[in-house]
Structure 1
Amino acid sequence: MNLSVKRAGIPITAFLLICTMFVLNQRYGVDLIRLSYDACHFLYGMAFPLLFGYLYIQIPTKIERVPLRVFIAQVRSVAVRDWLQGIVRGIRRDLQRGTPWSPWTGACWVAIFSIANEVVIDPIANGFPFTSAYSNLMADLLGIGTFLVIVHLTTRGHPTVGATTPAM
């Protein structure tokens, strides 16, 4: 989905709000990390797809593909001091066209990172088997599922919203 200029910041704002609330709760409220580490994983699975949804990878069609030599020549033709201006122009153009953001892409990135972390990295780094971290992975995936349900409900609308009841 392409987010317009007015809506381009909604996912990142929601992400920052969730993270701020977690930090404030952790600092001044309940120590959620010590109380339930699985709840932190659930929160990770629910919040981080908002951020990673911007990492939308679109594979261009054959007609749109630029040969590597042409791409390198285009990069070399722009001076390094002008790169910042080019980036700003690109961001402005993307905002005018609509910023690409996909909840499915964000969910896929978070699922990949969660699986890699819980199945490969944690057992190697911490020395405990995956069966000990299974609940963390399930909490991540449950958070991702909750995120997708919330996105579905907010973008598609509820079928009864706007429905009128017949007069009696």
Structure 2
Amino acid sequence: MESVIRPGALLAVALGLLAGCGASPPAEPTPVPTGLMVETSAFGDGETIPPAFTCKGAGYRPTVSWTRSTAKAFALVVDDPDAPEGDFYHWIVLDLPTGTTSVGATVPASAHQAKNSSGAVGWTPPCPPSGTHHYRFTVYALSAPTGLAAGASPQQAVDAIQAKATEQGVLTALASH
């Protein structure tokens, strides 16, 4: 009879052995507290994104607004977790200055835009290849600016944001093929 090892079984055994040696299993990332209210006048949370803001229309950037916070800086990440290859980043804006409560057609000169998953700096409109996709507009309050330059890779930007995030808010909207 052939043995079958269940996925995760080896990890469980290894973690058990480590626990016996006084070592701790790897820590889960600490979730960022929610508290910022995020909205746009273009569409509501859970609603469909109008064609004007997608590749089916002009592809405009919606103005995203959020509540005030005592943050030292803000960041905005627009992503599609339903993309075939995993998270697709449509727009990442870093180091929005204290006191900023919205970003849209224009971005403050002191802020920086990272590359999106298409490889360009700035916004790329939603354009799902099939089915209905969820688009998350997440605003992060940061303990300090990330210090990254314009054109940082999506992964560099997301890592830097997560390292300094103290609070977040999310608006999720839908777009279909």
- Normalised by the shorter chain, which TM-score bucket? under 0.3
- TM-score of the two chains, using structure 1 as the length reference: 0.23
Q: Which has the higher contact order (CA 8 A, sep 6+)?
A: 1
Q: Which of the two has greater strand per residue? A: 2
Q: Which of the two has greater helix per residue? A: 1
